[in-house]
Chain A
C-alpha cells in the first residue's frame, strides 16, 4: 500500500492534508476533533497582536449553489481570530504536545512594523509549533488596516516582512499569497527573495457572491449593507491550479515548496494540486461543508490512486505535471483532433449541435437523412472540445487525434512534425526572426 505520509520543509504529517487557516482551526476543540478524524495537520487560524479583533454578529458567509444546493463557492467576511492571543497560544502549546505527529503551523498577521513581528514570533516559538504562515492574503477587513492582502499586493512588503521573520526566528516560514494581484509570480519571487521556506496559495478571492435584489445590497447583508469578501470552495480551484503552476515553473521560484490551497474537495483535487508542484494541500470549504470525516475519502482515494499508478510515496508524483504546463506559443499547431460522437451512447439531447451551431463552427448535424441524429462534420470541426464540454453523457463525445491523411477542414495533409507559433509564418515576430 502506498505511503501517503508527508514531509514538507521537514514538517512531518501522516498525510498531506492540512486544514487551512480558517474557522475550523480557530480553537483547540475543533483542531482536536480534526486530528481525531485523521487530518495530517492544521494551520491555526491567524493570530494578531493587541486586543482581539471584533467580528460582525450578523451573517459572515455567502454561497453559490449548484443543483440540489450543492455548495460550489463560499464567500466570507470573517476576520482573523477574535479570541485572545494568550488563550490561542496556550491551546496551541497543548495541542502540539498532545499531537506530536501532526503538523501544526501558526498563521500570523500583525502590522508592517519589525517590532510587531519580533514580538509575536517570540511568543509563537514558545508553543513548540512546527512553523509559521504569514497571512498576506486576507482581502477584506484586515486589508483596510494595512495588513493581509494590503501587504501581499506589494512585492516589496512581502519581501521585507518575510526577511524580518527569517531574521528573527528559526521557524520555517510559509508565505501565504493573495490571488488578488495581476501576476502571482511577482509575490512569489518576493517571498523567495525574502528567504521564505515555502509559499502557500491561494488565499480567498475578492468577491461579491450575490446581490439581494429586494434589499438592494450585497450578500451577506449586515443591517442593509454588504461588503466584498473572500471567495473559496470548488469554484476557485481552476484559478488556484493555474497560480500554483505558474510558480512551480517560474525560473526564479522553481523548486520553492508550495502548499496548495483552493477548493480541494476530493482526493483527485488534491492530486491535481500535487502534480502541479504542491508538496502539501490545505483544505477548508470542503470541511466546512461536510465536516472532518471527509479526510477518510481524501486519504483512501489518494492511496488507491497511488497504488493503481505504482507511486510509492508522494515524492513519486509531486510536480510530475509541471513540465507539461507550457505557454500557448509552444503548443503544437500541427496536432489535429476531431470530435467523435458515439451514437450508441448518444441520448439525442442536441446540446452539442446547438452549441456548435449557434456559438461555434456549425460542425454538428441535427438530422441525418431526415431523422434526428447528431454527427460531426469533419470538414467544419476545428476540434475545439465545446461539444465534449456541454454533452451530459460522459465519454459520449471524444476528441480523436488524426495521425495520417488529410485534414478535411483545411485540405492539408497531416504533418507529424511539431510546429508552434514561434515559427509560424503568420507570426510577425517569427517573420522578423527569419529576416
Chain B
C-alpha cells in the first residue's frame, strides 16, 4: 500500500462490463417474498411495551405491524407503519436497524438473531405502495397555510402530517427533485428503482401539498417573506456546507467532496459514464464515507481505503456498515490522519498520512508518517449548517453548536418557526430522526394553529 508517489493518476469511467453495473448496484437486501415474510413475522414475540418500539425514533408499533403481516393483512400493517412514519418505506431501507429496533429486539438478546424488522417493514410498505391504495384522508380544511423549507425527510414528514390535519402546505426546495438526501444522498443499492420518487408521490397523494422546486432560501425565497405570507414556517433544509480537510493540497484535481459524488451517482442515468479512480482513498468515518468507499469499489476501483483518525468504536458508520465495506473489499485504516495531499501536474497522486493516538483526551499525531497512493480522494468528514441564508431578512434565529436551536416541540427561537432534521442542534443525523422531527413539529404547529 505504501509505495513511491508518482505513478500516473488513473481516473476513468467504464471500468466494468455493462451487466456488472446493474449487478453491483442492485438491491442490497432483496425483499422478502410472502412466505419468507410470514415465517419471519412468526418469530416476533409480540412483546409487552416492546423494546424495539421504544428504540424506534418514530415509535412505530412494530409488534402490531408484524402481527398484521402474520395475520395476512399487509395493507393494515403498512398503515400502522405510516401512521407513525410516513417515510417508513425508505426507513426500512436505510435505517441502521442493527443499532435501533433490531438491536433492542429480545431475540437479539436470546439468540443473537433479531427479528428482521427492517425487511418486514419493507415487505409491508412495498405492498401498500405497489397496491397504490390511499390510506390517509385529510381532516376538514382549516384554511391555514404553512411554508416548509426543504423537501427532505423532515420537511416531507411535516408537510404530510399538516396536510392530514387539514392545513395547506407549500414546500420550497432548492433541488430539481423532492426527497432531499433520500433522493440525493443515499447509496444507490439501498434505494433502487427510483424508490425515493415513488415514495414522494405516495406521500403527496394525500393532497394539499405543493412543491416549489428550485427555490433556495436566501435567494428565491426569504424567511421574512415566508413568515409574512404563511401562518407558520418549518425549516428542514439540512446541511449545505461540507467540512474542509484543512490539509495542504485540498484543491488538487481528484480531490472530491463525497456528498456531491454520491449525489451525482444517484442522479446518473448511466453509471458506466461515471469516473472513478484506480486507487481511491476516503477520508472520514461516517455513513457517507462508507457509501462513497463501497460505491467506488462497485464502480471498479482497484483499491479503496477508508482513513479514519480514530478507532473502530468511534466511527459513526455502524458496525454493519463497516462490515459491509469490508466484505465489498474496502480496507479501513484506523488511527490515521491526512497531513498533506501530494499532487503532480495539479492532480492528486498520493496522501501523506500520519498515525494518531489520544493523549490526555485529545487526538494527536504520533509523528510516524507513511504515504498512500491515491488518484482520487473523497472528503467525507462531515457537513455543516450554513446559517447565512436564514438571516439578513429579519430578526436572527438562535443557533446552538452551529445549528438551529429548537425546543421539545422543534420550535425555534422565533415563535412561528419550527425546524427539524439535520439542520437542528442535538439531532442524530438519521433519516428516521428527521421524520420524527417533522412529525413532532407538525403536531405542535397544528396545536398552535388550532388554538
Using a CB–CB cutoff of 8 Å, the interface residues on chain A facing chain B are 67-69, 347-351, 353-354, 366, 372, 392-393
Contacts and interface: CB of A to CB of B under 8 A. Distances in A.
Contacts of A372: 49, 51
21 contacts: A67-B39, A67-B43, A68-B38, A68-B39, A68-B42, A347-B109, A348-B47, A348-B109, A349-B47, A349-B48, A349-B106, A350-B48, A350-B50, A351-B46, A353-B48, A366-B48, A366-B49, A372-B49, A372-B51, A392-B45, A393-B110
B107 interface: yes
Contacts of A347: 106-107, 109-110
A351 B50 CA distance: 10
Given A67-B39, A68-B42, A350 B110 contact: no
B42 A348 contact: no
Contacts of B38: 68
B37 to A, nearest CB: 12
Nearest to B63: A349
Interface string B48-71: 111100000000000000000000
A178 B211 CA distance: 71
Nearest to A357: B48
Nearest to B45: A349
Contacts of A392: 45, 110
A351 B110 CA distance: 14
Interface of B: 35, 38-39, 42-43, 45-51, 106-107, 109-110
Given A67-B39, A68-B42, A354 B109 contact: no
Given A353-B48, A354-B48, A372-B51, A348 B39 contact: no
Nearest to A354: B48
B39 to A, nearest CB: 5
A393 B45 CA distance: 11
Residue of B35, B46, B110 contacting most chain A CB atoms (<10 Å) = B110
A350 B47 contact: yes
A66 to B, nearest CB: 8
A348 B48 CA distance: 9
Nearest to B54: A372
A350 B47 CA distance: 6
Contacts, number: 36
Contacts of B110: 347, 392-393
Nearest to A355: B48
Closest 6 CB pairs between A and B? A350-B48, A67-B42, A354-B48, A347-B106, A347-B110, A349-B47
Contacts of B109: 347-348
A354 B63 CA distance: 14
Nearest to A390: B45
Contacts of A68: 38-39, 42
A246 B304 CA distance: 74
Nearest to B107: A347
A319 to B, nearest CB: 38
A213 to B, nearest CB: 10
A393 B47 CA distance: 13
Nearest to B47: A349
Given A350-B49, A392-B45, 9 more contacts: A67-B42, A347-B107, A348-B109, A350-B48, A351-B45, A351-B48, A353-B48, A372-B51, A393-B110
Contacts of B48: 349-351, 353-354, 366
A348 B51 CA distance: 9
B47 A351 contact: yes
Nearest to B46: A351
A284 B49 CA distance: 43
A366 B45 CA distance: 16
Nearest to B42: A67
A263 B109 CA distance: 34
Contacts of B50: 350
A210 to B, nearest CB: 12
B32 to A, nearest CB: 14
Nearest to A374: B48
A68 B41 CA distance: 10
Contacts of B35: 69
A349 B62 CA distance: 13
A392 B43 CA distance: 10
Contacts of B107: 347
A357 to B, nearest CB: 8
A393 B107 CA distance: 10
Residue of A349, A354, A372 contacting most chain B CB atoms (<10 Å) = A349
Contacts of B106: 347-349
A393 B110 CA distance: 8
Contacts of A393: 110
A67 B69 CA distance: 13
A55 to B, nearest CB: 31
Nearest to B35: A69
Nearest to A392: B45
A347 B106 CA distance: 6
A351 B45 CA distance: 8
Contacts of B43: 67
Nearest to B43: A67
A396 to B, nearest CB: 10
A331 to B, nearest CB: 31
B193 to A, nearest CB: 30
Nearest to B49: A350
A393 B109 CA distance: 12
A69 B39 CA distance: 8
A348 B108 CA distance: 11
Contacts of A353: 48
B270 to A, nearest CB: 43
B115 to A, nearest CB: 11
Contacts of A351: 45-48
B265 to A, nearest CB: 40
A68 B36 CA distance: 9
B106 to A, nearest CB: 4
Contacts of A67: 39, 42-43
Nearest to A358: B48
A42 B249 CA distance: 87
Residue of B38, B49, B51, B109 contacting most chain A CB atoms (<10 Å) = B49
Contacts of A354: 48
Contacts of B49: 350, 366, 372
A392 B49 CA distance: 16
Contacts of A350: 47-50
B35 to A, nearest CB: 8
Nearest to A348: B106
A392 B353 CA distance: 53
